[in-house]
Structure 1
Amino acid sequence: MDTVEKKLIVNSDKGNLLSELVSSMSACDRYYFSVAFINFSGLQLLLDPLKEAEKKGIKGKIITSTYLNFTDAKAMEKIKDFSHVDLKVFVTDKEIGFHTKAYIFEYKDNYKVIIGSSNITQSALKSNIEWNVEIITKENGRFIQDVLREYDNLWNMSVEADQDFIKRYEEFLKRFKNTQSTHQLIYENKQYIVQNRMQKRATENLERLRSFGEKKALVIAATGTGKTYMSAFDVKSLKPKRLLFIVHREEILKKAKDTFELLLPNEGLTFGLLTGNHKQKNVDYVFATIQTISRCFHEFEKDEFDYLIIDEAHHATSPTYQAVLNYFDPKFTLGMTATPERSDGYNVFDLFDNNVALEVRLHEALEDELVIPFHYFGITDIEGIDLSNVDIDDIVEITKRLKVNERVDFIIEKMNFYGHDGDKRKCLGFCASIEHAQYMASEFNKRGYKSVCLHGGDSSEKREQYINRLENDHDELEFIFTVDIFNEGVDIPSINTVLMLRPTNSPIVFIQQLGRGLRKHGGKSFLTVLDFIGNHNKTFLIALALNGSRYYDKESLKVAVATGFANIPGCTHIQMDKISQERILAQIDKENFNSMKYLKEEYYEFKKLNQGRTPFLLMDYMKFDGAPDPVKFIDREKTYLQFVAKVEKDDYLKKLLLSDAFEGTLKELSSKLPLKRIYEFVVIRYLLDHEEINLEIAKRQILKMVTKVDDDSVIHAFECLNQNYYDSVQLKNKLKLVQYSGGKLVKTPIFKELLTKDEYRKYIEDIVNYGIFRYEKEFKKEYYGVPHFKLYEQYQMVDAALLSNYRKIHSSFRGSGLLTNGNDYFLFIDLHKEEDIKESINYKDKFIDEQYFQWQTPNSTSQNTDRGQNIIHNTSRGIKLHLFVRKYREIDGKNEPFIYIGTGDTVHYEGEKPITVKIKLENEIPSVLYTEFIKKV
């Protein structure tokens, strides 16, 4: 047997073929690939490793084929740019297919061979179900000799991919594409259009809200994720007699009508447009522009329509929309929007009774494949650009420093190196100012790249003209340089390149700009994003934006940066060069995310995006993907309004907060955020408008939010609201809002009185709505049982008392690493002990691997005690061991939460006082989280 080592490589959260190829290329002496297909989506991910290999003088040979005409001529051309790579093509005919997928790496005294199913495409390298076997073997082994001989045979049978060959192949592909297009129409049978995951979740949630008598709901999902189809599916199941669909722009209207006609073909329904040019009012389903319906809505009966749909619902707070919405009385109203933020200060959520049927933000949209993947390359800016000492708001100075000819050449060089998907480049470049955008357009034009500058001051006609030119494959225009008008609302589906040319000053803006290119479109399979990362002291904000809002702490963020954001789903690829990575890691290390200085900066940046208006409400933070977490502001000052009053020096707020009852109510409600169980707040929300609530009504209200609830947990929630489990200090300091007696909860006189005053009530309502809305976002509609724990969610020790229906004083849940409630044992574990605290014993709490954890009991526990027996024989004794783990006890002076990794069973034990046990986890820990726990950055 001549092989040394074998392993299976699959694309999963543990790794993928791409990372295997990248690490192999960086260490080998030579490489030889033979793959049937190479397309540009896969090749782009290997460009930097190819460049590195070229710099080191590592030579390579690549064989690909013309089999099924799947290889891109563009990919071949790109490979030819590398002087150390020889490229040959196996030209196939009808008789002989070419199906090899082999990657061979030659080292000093051995070979690594990867053979399997993966071609060089983004999905084959990153996300498809693929099996590839890696074999490491000595250079004189029989197996490797066979492989190399076979490779040489193929090499000799293949033709050199010179310019002449590539040109002929490219022309053939174009002809082939033109003759094929008319025959390749897909037969679309209506009943086979199935809902995607987002649409299914939304329609199920709408169904449930309606079953409880709700009449309005809002769906928030990124542009291009299929909201119109989702609404048509809902209409299909509800079958309203008459429907009114209102939009802001006429071109969207025709598409919406087509979608409904496609999905509802045999229902005997009539469809019509109500616009400036079309007046079809008497059809069953009317598709109207707001401009037209606002002039003629009185011609309809108030209850004429059973179902009303508002597309781009963030416009619905305007007076024009309000007049229409206030007139009609449909059985159900659905709002749909990609961006719930409004520039006029009104709250879109209130309009739809704060019923959010679904919210899909960037990470979820990538996961559900509702948008295309992006390939992000973080590139260190040229040395001459120094932004280290510039205020991020000093746009004039930033513009001056970015207007450098050398930088333009550098941007073009990188752009040409990384390339783009599709034939014509269609690029948006985001600049620091109008002057910067004009400069970029002018410099690009001088160098032969057809460009224009567009900004907020330009007319909508000019905007439309440039967008149409950019979208047109036969027009020379390739670049639109802009400032911020494309952050929201402008849709250019075929954008295939985004250039980030200014320092990132907000995760929100970063996500909005990125989102401009993620719309699905026939002409592209991925978006290329080039971010020119300078040495500005806020560079780390890029990492916040890319990691999504689920980062647990500063440590997690560092691991994400160091591992190339391994948590990002699908074919999306994030790569930062070494300097950018180190720069960002150093900044994260230095930044104290809990300091007042940082919190103020975060708040002011958010206020700027809120059109400069003070964000008085917590719900304001729900409008933007990438917004800061306002609970950090609450932690700082006990209530959000106290924080705003302090930062803004706002006398009106300070005056409001002089009311002890008001401040006490805010503190009592705020202390429960973020919610880990929704029941208490649903009960409070009902009591805002009702005198009392009993168990049956409470359950009915809760079931609007979640799929199931048990009686005992609702009764426990009543008891908690009645402050049954507060200790003496809490009872003295905390205001009581409700009274529990005779199976009912009623408002206390203080709370009742407060709610009659509008200036207080709106802030109380805001905390309640925020708590519920955020809970739904993080926990969805699921029922987690008792104890009510969600896997991989964050918890504090005291949460275990609440969520296991503990009926003694809750604040006793602290201090010890082992807490119990009946048969539930809660293990709270710190992986790294503080070095400066001399522990009385040597802790050995650690992950053995993704499936096993080693834990030491408190050091007073011996095997012969009842507790000791319960731990070591937990399965036979019916004891559930729940594990909560955190990396560090505190970071930046603040106690860290624990992460729930599920239950486990003891499979081995040894020793006394403490007992060391080996626990097999019920759920194998996801690789990304495992890395986060064990990796030191």
Structure 2
Amino acid sequence: MNEDQKLIVNSGHANMLNELIDSMKTCNSFYFSVAFVNFSGLQLLLDPLKEAQDRGIKGRILTSTYLNFTDPKALQKMKEFDHLDLKVFVTDKEVGFHTKVYIFEYDDYDKVIIGSSNLTQSALKSNIEWNVEIISKQDGAFIENVRREFDRLWNDSFVADQKLLDDYAAYIRDLPTIDAKKSLIFEKPDYITQNRMQQRAVENLERIRSHGEQRALVIAATGTGKTYMSAFHVRDIEPKKLLFLVHRGEILRKALASFELLIPAQLGKTCGYYTGEKKDREADYLFATIQTMQRHYQDFEPDEFDYIIVDEAHHATAPSYQRVIDYFNPNFMLGMTATPERSDHLSVFELFDHNVAVEVRLHEALDDELVIPFHYFGITDIDEVDLSDIDIDNLSEVTKRLQVHQRVDFIIENMQFYGYDGDTRKCLGFCASIEHAKYMTEAFNQRGIPSVHLSGHDDDRMREATMNRLESDEDELEVIFTVDIFNEGVDLPSVNSVLMLRPTNSPIIFIQQLGRGLRKHPDKSFLTVLDFIGNHNRTFLIAIALNGSRFYDKDSLKVAVSTDFANIPGATHIQMDEISKERILAQIDQENFNSMQYLKDEYNEFKQLRNGKPPYFLVDYFTYDGSPDPVKFIAKKQHYLDFVASLERDNQLKAMMQDVHFDKALKNLSKKLPIKRIHDFVIIRYLLDHDQITLQTAKTEILKHVQSVDEDTVLHAFEMLNQDYLDHIKKTHELKLAEFDGEATLTRTEAFAAILEDESSRRYIEDALHYGLLRYEREFHDANYGVPHFKLYEQYQMVDAAQLSNYRKTHSAFRGSGLLKNGKEFFLFIDLHKEADIDERINYQDKFIDRKTFQWQSQNSTRQQSEVGQQIMYNRQHGVRLHLFVRKYREIDSKREPYIYIGIGDTIEAYGEQPITAMLNLTHEVPQSLYVEFTEKV
């Protein structure tokens, strides 16, 4: 075999971990020499090591004590494998040990990987690492040198017997703590830097505040640093008086400590409490419980506080909060929440004027390293547990079938195999019912694992005491079994293991339960998640929960499962055994995600999560991470209200839709969702309360949401609202909401004004507008993407290109061709699979050559000497920009698929005639995960 080389870097699916796993599956033997082995990295290789052991494949692993970074727990775990020989190179002050080499032997060649990656989760998955793989003949000089050097180091090292491991573990335990150094870092505020969420939130809060808004909301998961973020903003604007409102005393103490840490002494601000026990009335920055403040708020002047912060702001819609909030008149009010729930009469979005400064959900939190990564292992449940013939919502029957002693042994066996990060196990086990939790507790205690169960029947004092036991290093408690009380709003930072012991019937609950262990803590670097996957007919919901994509279809979900969710960011690792994978893939194949039955099920599951309250408003779907996408519901019925009315059999809603103008207006707004530019909806929202809007006022309103805006796009939005670019048929079907005078003023129509006079009709119009704006800000943030207004890797339809490039002809004509133009902006809309070759791997005319190069064919009639042909072949010389929009399939499950914008390409080579074949160099290399999704056939 000829010598071959390649560079391995961590980039989505292509990472060092996958190279090691693939190599271990096929080699005859392996040899590792690495400076450091941490349990975080070893856990990712436990299954490949077990498979190698089962195949009779021998391995040698050599590591070192250099800098004391190797984890004693990892060494002990490796000793459990019979097929592994383990040695340790003991370093001293003079000699360091820095090797990172992986050798694999095959029948007639050897593979060597040398580079920068040690056996840690970050080095294998997320760090910037360079590793070179070299495949060579077994008698080659290079491989002989590598083997010789490995043997020399092996012979100079110590066998990892139990005495050496015990001595090393004791030495690590006795090392001087670095707590003193840590405290020095955190004593001065100057040393605390903002994370990406905090920086983005502070910048957005300033933009919102500078344009006259007085309220804003921050949505971010527990543990992402919302309190620090608020302190950073307070430090920047230096209010004279501040009120920080919470509903629990424990939160109050932590918040005050954070502010005292971050507010510089030279500001001269004092912090104090306002609670039942202590009232520091004269403090500049007052930290109060709502229970106390609601009794004493009139002791303060209405304008006493310049700045009010409401923590866990979803509680602020309650009457107790409302009285306090309505009394005060601060310059600015900030709400912070992880779950923006709606009360019966008011949503937290309404309370904070629909100004969302930042929203961070699970995948963003992982990407920004605001939470720790998780290692998820999907394990096929034992044969004795059969859920195939029952409704998984039938909890009593599910409970009965899960209470099997063999299953308990199987769970414990896997817990011991995969382990956990840290010195002691701190585990949450999520069960199907209270009875199931009690059963698991008793079974675990009988097997020597100290456990308790908690449920909604236990009072707050009992819950808090039990949680404190789990958090304590002195208490022997290892596992709390629970049903649903830890889904959200509970702070247990030290949890290092989560057991999913119930069938997953809701992506939302799955994400909530997973999130309980993701809080950062000094004693853990990752969370271990063991999910025991049964054979019920809704197993595929696990894939939806783990995928984390805002949008998915059958194909993208199958690719995610088959590639072990390569799109998940950072050092997080997702691994399912082959039986679970095949079961989930088969279910996805059988499911139609666009069928009315599937959409009904999604809606009803979401409604059930809301304690049976129908979600009448689109913004209700912002409440939870993992909520269904209501735009799919709109696609079935033209607007969301129609969908809800049909499912709820709500005659009052049906009667509202008899108003033709209201029905047309709601359809008009709904079909634009999700919006791709913010201008049009901002303008319409302003017209809810004003008869007119000028170009200048529109610019000011838009700047509350984005960093900059150009006047021509605002003018184009005015023209679109004036229906300048609708054809005759569309004008008869759409209600005109505003009229443009052709110069600088847009006026609300009488028909639109009449709709808004009815309170109920207005609320649903407002809901569509607010949902569009909130979703835009979640997906596009505050950047100005210019003209055309395209964001890389977002979804678009052909007609979107007309709007987003300020096209000034009839927009309905902007379809039907693979090449559409607006001046020198050329839009290439590409189907990778044509209908004729739907079963082929990829169409061989339009295709990716690699992540940076795309081959595209023009229409069959295009000649090289034509004007269009010359503009395509020499696009840069002609000043033409070629925008590429790609989709894999035209339709999936009878639904037209959107395109993905992959950016601008320049022609570097062209040949052929009628059609022209052009090789396009992409400005932006397509991300590995998206490239795999485009090119993988499952």
Q: TM-score, normalised by structure 2?
A: 0.98
Q: 1 CA distance for matches of 2:735 and 2:532?
A: 52
Q: Which amino acid aligns with 1:18?
A: L
Aligned to 1:565: 565
Relative to structure 1, the CA distance from residue 936 to residue 183 in structure 2 (aligned partners, 3 Å threshold; closer, same or farther) is closer
**Pairing of 1:516-531 with structure 2 (within 5 A):** 516-531=516-531
Aligned to 1:48: 47
Aligned to 2:796: 795
1:824 is the counterpart of 2:822: no
* SS of alignment partner, residue 760 of structure 1: helix
Aligned to 2:752: 751
Q: 2 CA distance for matches of 1:268 and 1:317?
A: 34
Give the CA deviation at 1:304. Answer: 0.4
Give the CA deviation at 1:549. Answer: 3.0
Q: Return 141-150 or 924-933, whichever deviates more.
A: 141-150
Aligned to 2:72: 73
Aligned to 2:429: 429
Query: Which structure 2 segments of 5+ residues have no match?
Result: none
Q: 1 CA distance for matches of 2:343 and 2:806?
A: 44
Given that 1:549 and 1:626 are in contact with CA atoms closer than 8 Å, whether structure 2 keeps it comes out as no
Q: 1 CA distance for matches of 2:893 and 2:133?
A: 43
**Pairing of 1:270-419 with structure 2 (within 5 A):** 270-342=270-342, 344=344, 346-419=346-419
Aligned to 1:733: 733
Aligned to 2:602: 602
Q: Which amino acid aligns with 1:710?
A: D
Given that 1:3 and 1:143 are in contact with CA atoms closer than 8 Å, whether structure 2 keeps it comes out as no
* SS of alignment partner, residue 667 of structure 1: helix
Give the CA deviation at 1:504. Answer: 0.9
Aligned to 2:667: 667
Q: Which amino acid aligns with 1:890?
A: E
Given that 2:216 and 2:356 are in contact with CA atoms closer than 8 Å, whether structure 1 keeps it comes out as yes
Aligned to 1:151: 150
Q: 1 CA distance for matches of 2:59 and 2:749?
A: 78
Given that 1:3 and 1:135 are in contact with CA atoms closer than 8 Å, whether structure 2 keeps it comes out as no
Q: Which amino acid aligns with 1:366?
A: L
Aligned to 1:613: 613
* SS of alignment partner, residue 194 of structure 1: coil
Relative to structure 1, the CA distance from residue 866 to residue 693 in structure 2 (aligned partners, 3 Å threshold; closer, same or farther) is same
Q: Which amino acid aligns with 1:771?
A: G
Seq. identity, %: 65
Q: Which amino acid aligns with 1:406?
A: Q
Q: Return 785-794 or 65-74, whichever deviates more.
A: 65-74
Given that 1:36 and 1:98 are in contact with CA atoms closer than 8 Å, whether structure 2 keeps it comes out as yes
Aligned to 2:479: 479
Given that 1:677 and 1:788 are in contact with CA atoms closer than 8 Å, whether structure 2 keeps it comes out as yes
Q: 2 CA distance for matches of 1:343 and 1:427?
A: 33
Q: 2 CA distance for matches of 1:345 and 1:19?
A: 51
Structure 1, residues 16-54: CA drift from partner, whole Å, max 9, x if none? 111111111111111111111111111000100000100
Aligned to 1:101: 100
Give the CA deviation at 1:185. Answer: 4.2
Give the CA deviation at 1:192. Answer: 2.2
Structure 1, residues 908-930: CA drift from partner, whole Å, max 9, x if none? 11222111111111111111111
Given that 1:399 and 1:432 are in contact with CA atoms closer than 8 Å, whether structure 2 keeps it comes out as yes
Aligned to 2:880: 879
**Pairing of 1:579-658 with structure 2 (within 5 A):** 579-658=579-658
Q: 2 CA distance for matches of 1:623 and 1:441?
A: 32
Q: 2 CA distance for matches of 1:877 and 1:409?
A: 71
Aligned to 2:269: 269
Query: Which structure 1 segments of 5+ residues have no match?
Result: none
Q: Which amino acid aligns with 1:627?
A: S
Q: 1 CA distance for matches of 2:358 and 2:634?
A: 26
Given that 2:342 and 2:620 are in contact with CA atoms closer than 8 Å, whether structure 1 keeps it comes out as no
Give the CA deviation at 1:574. Answer: 0.6
Q: Which amino acid aligns with 2:670?
A: S
Q: 2 CA distance for matches of 1:518 and 1:836?
A: 45
Given that 1:843 and 1:856 are in contact with CA atoms closer than 8 Å, whether structure 2 keeps it comes out as no
Aligned to 2:213: 214
Q: 1 CA distance for matches of 2:93 and 2:867?
A: 75
Aligned to 1:135: 134
Give the CA deviation at 1:853. Answer: 1.1
Give the CA deviation at 1:247. Answer: 0.9
Q: 2 CA distance for matches of 1:799 and 1:90?
A: 62
* SS of alignment partner, residue 584 of structure 1: helix
Given that 2:90 and 2:157 are in contact with CA atoms closer than 8 Å, whether structure 1 keeps it comes out as yes
* SS of alignment partner, residue 3 of structure 2: strand
Structure 1, residues 47-88: CA drift from partner, whole Å, max 9, x if none? 000001000000011111122222111111110111100111
Relative to structure 1, the CA distance from residue 185 to residue 211 in structure 2 (aligned partners, 3 Å threshold; closer, same or farther) is closer
**Pairing of 1:851-862 with structure 2 (within 5 A):** 851-862=852-863
Give the CA deviation at 1:277. Answer: 1.8
Give the CA deviation at 1:771. Answer: 0.5
Give the CA deviation at 1:838. Answer: 14
Give the CA deviation at 1:760. Answer: 0.8
Give the CA deviation at 1:553. Answer: 2.2
Relative to structure 1, the CA distance from residue 625 to residue 329 in structure 2 (aligned partners, 3 Å threshold; closer, same or farther) is same
Give the CA deviation at 1:611. Answer: 1.9
Relative to structure 1, the CA distance from residue 781 to residue 838 in structure 2 (aligned partners, 3 Å threshold; closer, same or farther) is closer
Q: Return 739-748 or 77-86, whichever deviates more.
A: 739-748
**Pairing of 1:445-460 with structure 2 (within 5 A):** 445-460=445-460
Q: 2 CA distance for matches of 1:111 and 1:35?
A: 18
C-alpha RMSD of the superposition = 1.6
Q: 2 CA distance for matches of 1:739 and 1:60?
A: 76
Aligned to 1:191: 190
Structure 1, residues 306-343: CA drift from partner, whole Å, max 9, x if none? 00000111110111111110111100000001111246
1:715 is the counterpart of 2:738: no
Give the CA deviation at 1:867. Answer: 1.6
Q: Which amino acid aligns with 2:424?
A: K
Structure 1, residues 426-461: CA drift from partner, whole Å, max 9, x if none? 000011111111111111111111111100110111
Q: 2 CA distance for matches of 1:65 and 1:873?
A: 58
Q: 1 CA distance for matches of 2:826 and 2:68?
A: 61
Give the CA deviation at 1:183. Answer: 6.1
Aligned to 1:90: 89
Relative to structure 1, the CA distance from residue 837 to residue 433 in structure 2 (aligned partners, 3 Å threshold; closer, same or farther) is closer
Relative to structure 1, the CA distance from residue 720 to residue 184 in structure 2 (aligned partners, 3 Å threshold; closer, same or farther) is closer
Q: Which amino acid aligns with 1:860?
A: S
Q: 1 CA distance for matches of 2:259 and 2:77?
A: 44
Give the CA deviation at 1:184. Answer: 5.9
- The size of the alignment, in residue pairs, is 933
* SS of alignment partner, residue 680 of structure 1: helix
Q: 1 CA distance for matches of 2:195 and 2:208?
A: 20
Structure 1, residues 500-532: CA drift from partner, whole Å, max 9, x if none? 011111111111001100000111100000011
Aligned to 1:119: 118
Q: 1 CA distance for matches of 2:424 and 2:636?
A: 51
Give the CA deviation at 1:149. Answer: 1.9
Give the CA deviation at 1:464. Answer: 0.8
Given that 2:453 and 2:482 are in contact with CA atoms closer than 8 Å, whether structure 1 keeps it comes out as yes
Give the CA deviation at 1:747. Answer: 1.4
Q: 1 CA distance for matches of 2:828 and 2:861?
A: 15
Q: TM-score, normalised by structure 1?
A: 0.98
Give the CA deviation at 1:746. Answer: 1.2
Give the CA deviation at 1:257. Answer: 1.0
Structure 1, residues 264-305: CA drift from partner, whole Å, max 9, x if none? 132111111111221101111101111111111111111000
**Pairing of 1:430-579 with structure 2 (within 5 A):** 430-579=430-579
Given that 1:219 and 1:336 are in contact with CA atoms closer than 8 Å, whether structure 2 keeps it comes out as yes
Give the CA deviation at 1:836. Answer: 7.8
Q: 2 CA distance for matches of 1:464 and 1:885?
A: 52
Give the CA deviation at 1:219. Answer: 0.2
Q: 1 CA distance for matches of 2:443 and 2:496?
A: 21
Q: Which amino acid aligns with 1:122?
A: Q
Relative to structure 1, the CA distance from residue 184 to residue 301 in structure 2 (aligned partners, 3 Å threshold; closer, same or farther) is closer
Q: 1 CA distance for matches of 2:839 and 2:322?
A: 66
Given that 1:682 and 1:701 are in contact with CA atoms closer than 8 Å, whether structure 2 keeps it comes out as yes
Given that 2:787 and 2:805 are in contact with CA atoms closer than 8 Å, whether structure 1 keeps it comes out as yes
